[in-house]
């Protein structure tokens, strides 16, 4: 059978992928530029699979509904954009502590404050270094195409259940709004089996499953933390993903994630047309971060430039990875502005190549 490609908007493709991933429930609250997720699901999902789609009274309510529903072992998700995501951080900390699986989506816009409705990447540190209180980690996937917006929904749920941990798709307003060719997965049935840990009512053959995040005994709470940390080390060992584009012979490397990684590819083409060998390093998971892979490249190249739609957040991870081996420069736009391929090439010439020849 010939595979059917469709032209879909990032947010709608993600919503369709959620239905097809057998998602049991979505709880959300509208905010530009991700409102199409809730809109799309409201129209189609309940009829097609019986999935629960609920517009909560706020983002705080949404994430706590996710917390409750995830506690039953069901496949649940929410999505929002930057200011809404900030409101959810307390709930995410509880979900991570309770070791519950769920899928979160942040279609980032420019900040801080209410900021702008145009795309941004300034929630990077919030996503990968914590966001809420306490020592916890959220597995964070950064799509760069509409197809990846689809693929990471299914993969995100897999990872969430594999590690009983929240998974975040960290994308931006441009990817949410743009349309590209997508191949959708087959419809997967909704989850009917119960998880042995799920809080679904006591049956005579087992003890009660209680999900809680509080311990007043510090030694117990420390052990709990150690268990979480051990899990994060396993995740770091096994789930790190990145894409290397034309890096084999490159003298200079642009490091970027998501949409910006694609703009950097065009900048690298411009450079190569002028005889300058430039490659692109794209982290696909931003937690866990591909430190080792980036460190390895540092041996072979002259320098790096990190490009982001923020003031230099992932830059901190690039510095940790490169560990002083080679110079690293930064170019960023903020407030909803998107760097162009030409801007990136000129900055690379000015900041790195100019310095090193």
Interface residue list for other proteins (CB under 8 A): 5-7, 33, 117-118, 173-174, 177-181, 259, 262-263, 265-267, 269, 336, 338-342
* Residue 49 Ramachandran class (φ > 0 left, ψ -120 to 50 alpha, else beta): alpha
Taking the least distance from each CB to other proteins, the nearer of 80 and 93 is: 80
Provide, rounded to whole angstroms, the least separation between the CB of residue 256 and other proteins. Answer: 11
Backbone Cα Rg of the chain: 21
Provide, rounded to whole angstroms, the least separation between the CB of residue 305 and other proteins. Answer: 16
Taking the least distance from each CB to other proteins, the nearer of 91 and 119 is: 119
Which SS3 state, helix, strand or coil, does residue 26 take? strand
As a whole number of angstroms, the distance between CA 114 and CA 264 comes to: 28
Which run of H or of E encompasses 146?
A: helix 146-163
Provide, rounded to whole angstroms, the least separation between the CB of residue 5 and other proteins. Answer: 5
Provide, rounded to whole angstroms, the least separation between the CB of residue 94 and other proteins. Answer: 33
Taking the least distance from each CB to other proteins, the nearer of 106 and 126 is: 106
The CB density around residue 90, as the number of other CB atoms within 10 Å, is: 16
Whether a cis peptide bond, with omega within 30° of 0, leads into 78 is no
* Strand order across the beta sheet in which 76-80 lies: 52-55, 25-28, 76-80, 102-108, 166-172, 139-141, 285-287
Whether a cis peptide bond, with omega within 30° of 0, leads into 301 is no
Provide, rounded to whole angstroms, the least separation between the CB of residue 32 and other proteins. Answer: 8
Alpha carbon separation from 302 to 263, 293, 343 (Å, rounded): 21, 16, 20
Taking the least distance from each CB to other proteins, the nearer of 156 and 173 is: 173
Alpha carbon separation from 238 to 106, 127, 282, 285 (Å, rounded): 24, 19, 18, 11
Taking the least distance from each CB to other proteins, the nearer of 138 and 259 is: 259
The CB density around residue 298, as the number of other CB atoms within 10 Å, is: 18
Tokens for 24, please give them.
Answer: 């049991």
Taking the least distance from each CB to other proteins, the nearer of 84 and 130 is: 84
As a whole number of angstroms, the distance between CA 11 and CA 35 comes to: 8
Provide, rounded to whole angstroms, the least separation between the CB of residue 149 and other proteins. Answer: 13
- Determine the Cα angle at 149 with ends 31 and 17, to 5°: 90
Provide, rounded to whole angstroms, the least separation between the CB of residue 18 and other proteins. Answer: 21
As a whole number of angstroms, the distance between CA 91 and CA 83 comes to: 15
Provide, rounded to whole angstroms, the least separation between the CB of residue 274 and other proteins. Answer: 15
Taking the least distance from each CB to other proteins, the nearer of 172 and 195 is: 172
Provide, rounded to whole angstroms, the least separation between the CB of residue 177 and other proteins. Answer: 5
Taking the least distance from each CB to other proteins, the nearer of 5 and 158 is: 5
Taking the least distance from each CB to other proteins, the nearer of 71 and 111 is: 111
């Amino acid at each position: 059978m010939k595979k059917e490609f469709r032209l879909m908007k990032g947010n709608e493709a993600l919503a369709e992928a959620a239905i097809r991933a057998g998602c049991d429930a979505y709880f959300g609250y509208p905010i530009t530029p991700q409102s199409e997720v809730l809109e799309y699901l409201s129209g189609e999902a309940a009829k097609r699979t019986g999935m629960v789609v609920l517009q909560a009274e706020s983002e705080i309510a949404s994430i706590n509904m996710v917390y409750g529903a995830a506690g039953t072992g069901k496949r649940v998700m929410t999505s929002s954009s930057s200011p809404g995501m900030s409101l959810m951080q307390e709930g995410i900390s509880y979900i991570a502590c309770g070791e519950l699986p769920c899928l979160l989506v942040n279609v980032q816009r420019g900040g801080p404050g209410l900021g702008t409705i145009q795309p941004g990447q300034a929630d990077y540190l919030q996503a990968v270094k914590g966001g809420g209180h306490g020592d916890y980690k959220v597995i964070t996937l950064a799509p760069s195409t509409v197809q990846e917006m689809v693929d990471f929904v299914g993969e995100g749920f897999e990872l969430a259940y594999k590690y009983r941990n929240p998974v975040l798709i960290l994308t931006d307003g441009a990817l949410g709004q743009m349309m590209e060719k997508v191949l959708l997965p087959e419809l997967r049935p909704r989850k009917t089996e119960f998880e042995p840990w799920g809080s679904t009512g006591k049956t005579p053959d087992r003890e009660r499953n209680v999900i809680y995040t509080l311990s007043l005994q510090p030694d117990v709470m420390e052990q709990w933390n150690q268990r979480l940390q051990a899990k994060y080390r396993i995740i770091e060992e096994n789930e790190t993903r990145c894409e290397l584009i034309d890096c084999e012979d490159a003298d200079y490397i642009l490091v970027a994630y998501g949409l910006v990684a694609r703009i950097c590819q065009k900048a690298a083409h411009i450079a190569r047309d002028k005889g300058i060998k430039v490659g692109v390093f794209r982290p696909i998971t931003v937690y866990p971060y591909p430190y080792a892979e980036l460190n390895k490249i540092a041996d072979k190249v002259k320098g790096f430039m990190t490009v982001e739609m923020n003031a230099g957040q992932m830059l901190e991870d690039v510095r940790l990875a490169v560990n002083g081996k080679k110079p690293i420069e930064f170019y960023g736009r903020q407030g909803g502005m998107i760097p162009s391929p030409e801007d990136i090439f000129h900055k690379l010439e000015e900041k790195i190549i100019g310095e090193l020849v």
